[in-house]
């Protein structure tokens, strides 16, 4: 079964970032998930524009840029000018007065538009945006911090989205508390990709390539 694996780079060893990026690339990661946090929309600071540019320079793999900032439209051009056509940009609809304007900027720049849906955000409130995005990032934890526990009610939200995607042109991705049992449960249902953090990928005493191969060989 084919599904995408994205490395949550806020969990990487920043003292050895070049080594981390090169080993993940050689190990077969599909893309790098870049969490941009401003300490306002979420109660934490994480990666920056310079981090994003550095990873793009060190690896040909696509970037998955998750904008957890207030009013992303005020800064979106700065990020878009440093991205490639195969890169994705997710925004949180609640963070913007007119999120469709920001999504259109992403589309006009030639990048892949996406929205991130928080645990407390209903599918119904983002219905119209589902018609213009290519990716939907479902947060299975509240945004802002790594290492949180999975919120079980998010599974019902994914079920709703899976039914809608049959008539729309988007794919569903999982972000937060991603464990092997969640991949086994949701990949066969149609979830396209999974953001990997400390639960499955980082902080293990084995090469990234071995870890990624083990995940891809999970029994369904």
Per residue in 64-117, pLDDT (tens digit) is: 999 999 999 999 999 999 999 999 999 999 999 999 999 999 999 999 999 999
- Spell out the residues 6+ positions from residue 14 whose beta carbon is closer than 8 angstroms to its own: none
State how many domains the chain has.
1
**What pLDDT does 146 receive?**
60
Residue corresponding to tokens 């293990």 = 204
Q: Would the pTM count as exceeding 0.85?
A: yes
What whole-number distance in Å separates Cα of residue 77 and Cα of residue 63?
16
**pLDDT beyond 70 at 60:** yes
3-state SS class at 147: coil
Cβ atoms of residues 192 and 173 within 8 Å: yes
Which position among 169, 175, 181, 205 bears the catalytic label?
A: 175
Q: Do residues 212 and 29 lie in contact, with contact meaning Cβ atoms separated by under 8 Å? A: yes
Q: Give per-residue pLDDT as tens, 126-179.
A: 999 999 999 999 998 777 566 566 677 788 999 999 999 989 999 999 998 899
Domain containing residue 10: 4-216
pLDDT of residue 43: 85
189 pLDDT tier (thresholds 50, 70, 90): very high
Active site residue 175: yes
The mean pLDDT value of the chain amounts to 94
Concerning whether 87 is annotated as a catalytic residue, the answer is no
- Placement of tokens 């840029």 in the chain: 65
- The CATH number assigned to the domain holding 135 equals 3.20.20.70
Half-sphere exposure of 88 (CA within 13 A, CB side): 25
Distance CA 156, CA 217 (A): 26
**Which among 141, 183, 142, 138 is positioned nearest to 164, based on CA atoms?**
138
Kindly report the number of other CB atoms within 10 A of residue 163's CB atom.
11
Q: Which residue has the tokens 């913007």?
A: 96
Please state at what angle helix 17-27 crosses helix 208-216, rounded to 10 degrees. Answer: 40
What pLDDT was estimated at residue 183?
A: 96
Q: How far is CA 24 from CA 30, 90, 128, 171, in A?
A: 9, 22, 36, 24
Predicted confidence at residue 26, as pLDDT, reads: 98
Identified catalytic residue from 13, 30, 35, 205: 35
Backbone angles phi, psi at 40, to 5 degrees: -120, -55
Instruction: Report helix, strand or coil for 78.
Output: helix
């Amino acid at each position: 079964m084919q599904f995408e694996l994205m490395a949550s780079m806020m969990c990487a060893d920043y003292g050895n970032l070049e080594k981390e990026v090169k080993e993940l690339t050689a190990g077969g990661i599909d893309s790098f998930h870049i969490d941009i946090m401003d300490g306002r929309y979420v109660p934490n600071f994480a990666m920056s524009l310079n981090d994003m540019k550095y990873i793009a320079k060190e690896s040909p793999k696509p970037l998955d840029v998750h904008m957890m900032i207030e009013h992303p439209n005020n800064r979106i051009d700065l990020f878009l000018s440093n991205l490639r056509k195969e890169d994705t940009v997710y925004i949180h609809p609640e963070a913007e007065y007119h999120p469709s304007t920001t999504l259109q900027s992403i589309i006009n720049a030639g990048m892949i538009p996406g929205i991130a849906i928080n645990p407390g955000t209903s599918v119904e409130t983002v219905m119209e945006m589902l018609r213009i995005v290519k990716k939907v990032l479902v947060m299975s934890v509240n945004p802002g911090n790594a290492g949180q526990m999975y919120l079980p009610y998010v599974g019902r939200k994914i079920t709703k989205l899976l039914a809608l995607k049959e008539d729309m042109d988007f794919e569903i991705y999982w972000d937060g508390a991603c464990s092997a049992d969640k991949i086994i449960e949701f990949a066969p249902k149609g979830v396209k990709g999974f953001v990997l953090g400390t639960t499955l990928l980082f902080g293990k005493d084995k090469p990234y390539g071995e870890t990624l191969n083990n995940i891809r060989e999970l029994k369904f």
